[in-house]
Structure 1
């Protein structure tokens, strides 16, 4: 559970840092111009995916693999859209595991 202090700190950083508009840019751009791939189009760099059970929306792995070079796909045991705030150790461990394979 996220504490009220953490929520207020997060909001304050966006508000007083005048970065709220920038943080919402991705959502606005995706709404106005959804991401669409051509048949057979591939994205080259390797991809690691952490699927958090309370995330807002996540396409099925089969859809992601049509376009991306999925090297790691992990169904996480807890958290959601704010995983870095809710479960930072869990996310950090997963990130380290993904990048460890590139050493």
Structure 2
């Protein structure tokens, strides 16, 4: 087993492990409930961690987590309402138009 990364909280750790498992990487969350003893150990040592069971999947898991932590940034104008949408969003928050209808992203 190899440690992939600590997560800021249990919800994010579970989400990351689920995403890795969905891609065929056997991953587990360790220290899921260690936050309860954060006052007795350093807080950074009480964070939940993502571990992969097969050492050969470590590089792929690290790359996937990097993509999850750094989604692509986009800026596009919605053809439905002319709202400028920034960030990794695929749909206009104002009118619900999908980005594909707006043409290529910039």
**TM-score, normalized by the shorter chain, greater than 0.5:** no
Larger radius of gyration: 2
Higher helix share: 1
TM-score, scaled relative to structure 1: 0.25
TM-score, scaled relative to structure 2: 0.25
